[in-house]
């Protein structure tokens, strides 16, 4: 597990204050404007105090080839975040967790007064059954799904959406989602952002002389 870069600040607010926090996890390989777009949309529509960009030390579902160093990915996420409403953090490296279920359990222990909401794209909803103990994850925190081109319809017809059909809330209930008893989730019909990490990596690779 990579060491946390020197000076990495852990989120400090949740241990003393009641807050509503969105968790947007990922490789951020690289971080881009689309991530910030999602963070701001989720914060506004769900009435969140903050969104934390959880930069993963390593994604077990993604190949290591082409993965930028953890410190570089974290720096790129920090450059997007404002440090107040949107925080970029390598807290998973500090906690030593590898799977989202373990990260969420540790965060709930560390920040018992925070109401966490998992923020994900439709592509993540589609692959959710591949995550370790995904049903337990859904039972620990509500989650909000944002559309992704080519994934949304398949995700809504997929295993996770079917299994959690009774827990789906209308989009109009999004402002109350953070306070809902999980499992609870909703899909937000929001404008899409064209940025794509894979497209950015491909463009960078093509630009190399």
Q: What is the pLDDT of residue 121?
A: 93
What is each CA distance from 71 to 8, 60, 156, in whole angstroms?
10, 18, 35
Domain annotation for the chain: domains and CATH numbers: 19-207 (3.40.50.620)
Give the DSSP H/E element, type plus range, for residue 124.
helix 122-127
3-state SS class at 11: coil
Instruction: Name the residue with tokens 């008893």.
Output: 181
What residues in the chain have per-residue pLDDT under 70?
1-17, 59-65, 193-209
Instruction: Name the residue with tokens 């999602």.
Output: 38
* Greatest alpha-carbon span in the chain: 53
| DSSP category for residue 43 | H
CA atoms within 13 A on the CB side of 173: 16
Q: Which pTM was predicted?
A: 0.85
Q: Rg for the chain (alpha carbons), in Å? A: 16
Please report which residue ranges of 128-196 form alpha helices under DSSP H: 134-140, 152-156, 159-163
Q: What is the pLDDT of residue 3?
A: 38
Q: What is the pLDDT of residue 108?
A: 92
């Amino acid at each position: 597990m990579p060491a946390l870069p020197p000076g990495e600040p852990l989120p400090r607010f949740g241990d003393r204050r009641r807050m509503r926090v969105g968790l947007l996890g990922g490789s951020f390989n690289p971080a881009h404007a689309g991530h910030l777009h999602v963070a701001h949309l989720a914060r506004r529509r769900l009435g969140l105090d903050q969104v934390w960009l959880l930069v993963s030390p390593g994604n077990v579902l993604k190949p290591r080839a082409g993965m930028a160093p953890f410190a570089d990915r974290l720096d790129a996420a920090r450059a997007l975040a404002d440090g107040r409403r949107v925080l970029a953090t390598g807290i998973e490296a500090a906690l030593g967790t590898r799977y989202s279920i373990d990260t969420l359990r540790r965060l709930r222990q560390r920040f018992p007064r925070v109401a966490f909401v998992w923020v994900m794209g439709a592509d993540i909803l589609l692959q959710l059954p591949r995550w370790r103990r995904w049903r337990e994850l859904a039972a620990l925190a509500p989650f909000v799904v944002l559309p992704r081109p080519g994934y949304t319809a398949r995700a809504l017809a997929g295993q996770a959406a079917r299994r959690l059909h009774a827990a789906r809330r209308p989009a109009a209930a999004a402002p109350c989602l953070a306070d809902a008893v999980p499992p609870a989730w909703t899909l937000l019909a929001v404008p899409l952002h064209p940025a794509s990490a894979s497209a950015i990596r491909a463009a960078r690779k093509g630009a190399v002389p």
